[in-house]
Each structure stands twice: as C-alpha cells, then as structure tokens.
Amino acid sequence: MSGPQLVFGYGSLAAGGGGTRAQLRGHRRVWGVAMDNSRDLPGYKHYLLRCDGSRPAVHVAFLDIVPDPESVVEGIVLAVDEASLRELDQRERNYDRVDVTAAVVGATGTVWAYVGSPQGRARLREGRDRGSAVISREYLEAVRARSGPAQLTAREPSSDLDGLDVWDLVRVPHSGRAPR
C-alpha cells in the first residue's frame, strides 16, 4: 500500500482514545458479533461475573457495522503501520478488515474498518437462539464514554441494546500468542 494507512474505529478502538474524529457514510452500528465465553483461545480473553468471579456460559456481543445508505457512523481514524495492522488483525478476530476509504469523509489515505466476520456473526446468532447473548457493561460504558449515549441510540436506532441484556462482566486476557 502506498500512502498513509488508517483504521476507522467505531467501538472498542474508538473507546481507547486518541485518533481523529471521522464519519463513515452509508453504514450503521449494530450488535453484530459475539465471542463464545465457554471457549479458551490463546492470546484472546474470556469474561467472569463481577459479582462472584464465575465464568458464565454466554456469548458476549460486540459492535459491528453494516451497510445502510441512510446512516452515518461517528468514530475515529487512527494512523497505523503494517505491524500495527497485523496486531489489530489478531486482536479483532471476530472481524474482517475491509477498505472503507471511499465512505470516510475527508479520508487522506487508505482507511480500513473491521466488519463482522461470518463466524463472529454466526456466534451472535447462536447466542441469540440460545438466549445466552449479552453485552458487557464495561464495554458498553467505554464505547458510550467515547461516543456518547446518543450515538448508540438516537442517531443509530439499530445500535441500541437490540434486546440484549447488559451484564457486569470482568474481562480476563489470555496469555500466549494466538495461532496464525
């Protein structure tokens, strides 16, 4: 790739701070992917209940973006290099990296976004079917702190809680590198 590379963050990447505010046209945020909290994956994470430290058999949901010609997603763009992109590709294992340059207002380089992978989206469907899909309060609050509650409700109606319960979960990172 020639020229600067950027990543458009609209969920946890935006909640991390930094970056420059940006808009992604023609998309909206949804609760679109999930991880299966009953599985251990090297280099990933799992969640415990804050109240008692137990590990619930739930599917933890995360934000995703889907095409919607009438919507705009508020987020940030972060400058990245090739090494950072490889790290993000590993971190964002529920997503596929796609080029969204043409949809980002004022983009000055190649802009990538992480869009729910078929497997990540299937895990959320499975969790919904089983009644085990939940949102981590910590994740929700981090995203709201960066983008404001209105970003998850009034301006993006499908990005409200979408019928999912919010649980007080504690994120536990796993050591070790993820398999390639």
**CA 80, CA 6: separation in Å to the nearest integer?**
6
Residue in the block written with tokens 């869009």: 115
Helix (H, G, I), strand (E, B) or coil at 142: helix
pLDDT at res. 152 = 45
Domain spans, the chain: 5-173
Alpha-helical segments (H) within 67-169: 82-91, 118-130, 137-147, 149-152
Residue 47 has pLDDT above 90, yes or no: yes
pLDDT category at 106 given cuts 50, 70, 90 is: confident
Give the mean pLDDT of the chain. 88
Q: 116 forms bridges with which residues in the sheet?
A: 95
Looking at 4-18, 31-45, 124-138, which range is the least confident one? Answer: 4-18
Residue 159 has pLDDT above 90, yes or no: no
Full-model pTM:
0.87
Share of the chain above pLDDT 90, in %: 67
CATH class of 5-173: alpha beta
pLDDT at res. 147 = 63
Q: What is the pLDDT of residues 145-157, one digit of tens each?
A: 876 444 444 344 3
Residue 70 has pLDDT above 90, yes or no: yes
pLDDT category at 174 given cuts 50, 70, 90 is: confident
Residue 18 has pLDDT above 90, yes or no: no
Please enumerate in sequence order all residues whose Cβ is within 8 A of that of 118, keeping only pairs 6 or more positions apart, or say none. Answer: none
pLDDT at res. 85 = 95
